[in-house]
Amino acid sequence: MKRKITLKQIARELDVSISTVSKAIRNSKEVSPDTREKIQAFAKFYNYRPNNIAISLKNRRTKNIGVIIPEIVHHFFSTVILGIERVANSQGYNVIVCLSDESFDKEVINMEMLANGSIDGFIISLSKETLAKEDFNHFNEVINEGMPLVLFDRVTDKVYCDKAIVDDTMAAYEAVNLLLESGCKQIALITTIDYISVGRLRTLGYHKALKNFGFTIDPKLVVKIEDLETCDKKIRELFDSETFDGVFAVNEFFAVNAMKIAQDRGFKIPDDISFIGFTDGILSKCSSPTLSTVAQHGFEMGAAAAKMLINKLENNGHPKTCCTQTIQTSIIERESTKRKPAIAKPEKHIY
Amino acid sequence: MKRKITLKQIARELDVSISTVSKAIRNSKEVSPDTREKIQAFAKFYNYRPNNIAISLKNRRTKNIGVIIPEIVHHFFSTVILGIERVANSQGYNVIVCLSDESFDKEVINMEMLANGSIDGFIISLSKETLAKEDFNHFNEVINEGMPLVLFDRVTDKVYCDKAIVDDTMAAYEAVNLLLESGCKQIALITTIDYISVGRLRTLGYHKALKNFGFTIDPKLVVKIEDLETCDKKIRELFDSETFDGVFAVNEFFAVNAMKIAQDRGFKIPDDISFIGFTDGILSKCSSPTLSTVAQHGFEMGAAAAKMLINKLENNGHPKTCCTQTIQTSIIERESTKRKPAIAKPEKHIY
DNA sequence: GAAAGAACAAAAAACGTTTTCGTGTTGATA
DNA sequence: TATCAACACGAAAACGTTTTTTGTTCTTTC
């Protein structure tokens, strides 16, 4: 058990000054070839590695990125982290992951913990509580202190910073449109409570698609699910009271659960009812039938967020201007939807 | 955009020394009530927060834990991170997550990146490549440098350190036993290639259970899957050539895929064939039928690993002695297995 | 009225780097 | 021989803390 060796120790051992050692190791021409070699050999032998913390202090940059997400046991978020990690690592950054558990307080605590020098910048997706509370002071504070911040997926207009998002409305519109074009006449919506920004936007896309197709919105076909416990019950109630031939769910969990209930009740998928979900995770690929979904490309979103952040950190571009990158979504057609017959297509889209 | 304020700036502004400011802020009795109050008010007004990096350098501890896992888009590993994060946060530690992508080289690079002062200790699950290569020098090196290391799930005897694991053999034994006790006579095994420690141990458990029940092992009923692409094909071949009434798979993905193929071929689950998998993830809960599984309790495993590491870091207990904690697994019975009739149970178990 | 002791505050050292500047020694040039 | 540049190296400052040491000033006590 040998402690890590430092410049000072090498200097003492070799009877030269610390600065000489430092220069020798970084191959400076200021030190003679002999001493340089001697020092390098010694350093190599003792496996010298500069101490990151000391360098961080000196340079006033840590090469760490702080990421705060609502949960980690979640396909989409872990995919985003994968994307962040890839880009960050390739540029020599490490990623510190913190979880807000959808709690406003934890989000604030985590930010305070990290903002005192531990990291160079933030990548964050807002917690549900923060979204509901609409209190974004903690973000504006760190921005004011000069720390770059990138928001992704769950964002807000109230904070001016770089953002990586998908066009949730548009994607939902397209998903519902797929159902409409394949012949569905009555499409149910399974969504979340309103304050989750993405849920609201996806609902909006659903509305737009229906309107564009000349249908009216039937509120009885819309189910809002508060928590996972009531998910099953709410969906069953929908099946009890309404009839429909298409279902659009704002995540794959809702969609798969709805499919199971439909199958229990003897409906054939997609012949009797078509299903499409949001988020292309493992469930969609493994369910029976496999689920058609909107892929959000979390990896690309994470990569884009990391690139924007690092760009700010390395001082490329104007530090004051912010941009919002919209990641392209794509619809993945699987067994839960019918091939669209390419008829009955309205001439102009609202997009 | 105001830079973060430092002790030095406060000192200059208030015309006292840096040490006085430091002491005043930490409420030292060495500084008079007047100055103390004045300084504290000033500090509060400018929202002074001590710089973590400076403190880390001073204390030679970062309060960061380095976690290296093979992948993150994976239910089990993200659950483990959740457990680590909980414990770490409660003790004031942050978690730096790095991904090895199952690559030996990345594992080494990540460790080198973190070992130079960025963290106080490691929590790692071995990459497949490392397991195959059996080269564990990088672990022994950091241990020799006095940095605590905890391995979890995918571990090795060749490194002497704290470990958090499940008894894979035992858990597999119990899973297969459940099939046997519910009347299965011919049980297929869907597993991974040999060098993955946990895969080998689970296979061993399968063997033990069969032997204990008086059955012989039929190699034709064992499928070894190398990568996810060939998964489907291999399983189909099994169905083509063999007949069986039970399937034990070493993860839920294999199990669910096998169930789908079985259903395609008209088998009723669990009446014709029973299925049980390893790893209680989202797939098991959402598949149809829902899958009986062995829950590995990743959260507990992560929490245990973090506790052991922090224990070492805070110098409780002997720094030299290592312990291996075995997390209890539990079998979750769902729709894919029959209730066991509580007969035909052999008297003594080999466990 | 001098010694002792509080009470307060400043200075300095330390953590491990990097970098700027200064200095003494060469050898060459005028 | 005086001047100067090149060379090789060391000293010191800086990053922002905490802690130990040192140094004042003011009370107290005999």
pLDDT at A299: 98
Per-residue pLDDT in tens (0 to 9) along chain A, 351 residues: 677 999 999 999 999 999 999 999 999 999 999 999 999 999 999 999 999 999 999 999 999 999 999 999 999 999 999 999 999 999 999 999 999 999 999 999 999 999 999 999 999 999 999 999 999 999 999 999 999 999 999 999 999 999 999 999 999 999 999 999 999 999 999 998 877 778 889 999 999 999 999 999 999 999 999 888 889 899 999 999 999 999 999 999 999 999 999 999 999 999 999 999 999 999 999 998 999 999 999 999 999 999 999 999 997 666 679 999 999 999 999 999 998 655 544 445 445
C-alpha B185/C-alpha A116 separation (Å) is: 62
pLDDT band at B343 (very low <50, low <70, confident <90, very high): low
Q: Is the dihedral angle over the CA atoms B271, B292, B75, B327 positive or is it negative?
A: negative
pLDDT at A350: 45
**CB within 8 Å: A53 and B51:** no
Lowest mean pLDDT among A280-289, B94-103, B195-204, B231-240: B195-204
Give me the CA B31–C1' C9 separation in Å, rounded. Answer: 8
Are B167 and B326 within 8 A, CB to CB?
A: yes
> Quick one: average pLDDT of B197-221?
92
**CB within 8 Å: B97 and A81:** yes
Chain C nucleotides close to protein (CB under 7 A) are 7-21
Measured between beta carbons, which residues in chain A are less than 8 angstroms from residue B82? 71-73, 99
Helix, strand, or coil here: A27? coil
C-alpha A10/C-alpha A12 separation (Å) is: 5
pLDDT at A339: 80
Nearest residue to A50 via CA among A84, A7, A98, A94: A7
> Quick one: average pLDDT of B239-267?
95
> Quick one: average pLDDT of B6-24?
96
Chain D nucleotides close to protein (CB under 7 A) are 7-20
pTM of the model as a whole: 0.93
pLDDT at B109: 97
| Smallest Cα distance from B350 to chain A, Å | 36
Q: What is the pLDDT of residues A218-240, one digit of tens each?
A: 999 999 998 888 898 999 999 99
The answer to whether some atom of strand C lies closer than 7 Å to the beta carbon of A51 is: yes
DSSP H or E stretch at residue A326: strand A324-327
Over chain A, what is the mean pLDDT? 93
Are A163 and A324 within 8 A, CB to CB?
A: yes
pLDDT at B3: 77
C-alpha A341/C-alpha A182 separation (Å) is: 6
pLDDT band at B229 (very low <50, low <70, confident <90, very high): confident
Q: Which residue of B has its CA nearest to A281?
A: B73
The answer to whether some atom of strand D lies closer than 7 Å to the beta carbon of A60 is: yes
pLDDT at B198: 83
Q: Looking at chain B from residue 107 to 146, which residues have their Cβ under 8 Å from any Cβ of chain A?
A: 112-118, 144-146
Q: Pick out the nucleotide with least CA–C1' distance to B32.
A: C8
C-alpha B191/C-alpha A293 separation (Å) is: 30
Nearest residue to A131 via CA among A201, A67, A82: A201
